Amino acid sequence: MEEGDEKVKRVITYGTFDLLHYGHINLLRRAKEYGDYLIVALSTDQFNWNEKQKKCYFDYEKRKTLLEAIRYVDLVIPEENWEQKKTDVHEYHVDTFVMGDDWEGKFDFLKEEGVEVVYLSRTPEISSTQIKNDLKR
């Protein structure tokens, strides 16, 4: 995927993106600013439940459809395990790996794969957990 002589800069981020909110949109917009092509690795329902003990409100296909409708997102792929990040950055020719700063330092090992690793600050006043807690009240 070359445009003229310019190399397309590819960015990847990972997440569950359940109960999509403006904090997610903010993260995706800012991630896209690091390149031309944004890949979102979306946690599958099985991965969320088995590895993260997280139950989603929306199933994988619905979350995928929502993400694909966002103009910053170019491709959505399934995240099925913790280990795939290393293979994904090579398979998708990723230049920059972006995550929220609540993961600060956890993915620095990807720098050894030749990838820039960026941790973005979260949108302070919003999170899916916050929404769930507010709705319970």
Residue 37 near residue 2, CB atoms below 8 Å:
no
Residue 94 near residue 61, CB atoms below 8 Å:
no
DSSP designation for 77: E
Active-site choice (7, 9, 32, 52): 52
How far is it, in rounded angstroms, from Cα 95 to Cα 93? 7
Establish whether 54 is a catalytic residue.
yes
Establish whether 52 is a catalytic residue.
yes
Active-site choice (7, 9, 32, 54): 54
Residues carrying an active site annotation: 52, 54
